[in-house]
Amino acid sequence: MQGETRERWQKLCEQAAIEQDPEQLLILIQEINQLLEEKEKRLQRQGPISR
């Protein structure tokens, strides 16, 4: 993840680590999951790295 997305991902993880409200925790986890899915799709489009 780059720049703003990476920073957002890190902040969400920090918030999730201390969140006490189960509903808010679920919202944070869903957003983290969405960012990770977007990254996975970007990586799949790039294809395998040649070595």
Assign 1 a pLDDT band (cuts: 50, 70, 90). very low
CB 28 within 8 A of CB 15: yes
Segment 7-14 mean pLDDT:
92
Q: State yes or no: pLDDT of 4 exceeds 50.
A: yes
Task: Between 25 and 43, name the one with better pLDDT.
Answer: 25
User: Judging by beta carbons within 10 Å of its beta carbon (0-12, 13-18, 19+), is residue 18 exposed, middle or buried?
Assistant: exposed
Q: State yes or no: pLDDT of 48 exceeds 90.
A: no
Neighbouring residues of 29: CB distance < 8 A, sequence distance ≥ 6: 16
Query: What average pLDDT does the structure give for the chain?
Result: 88
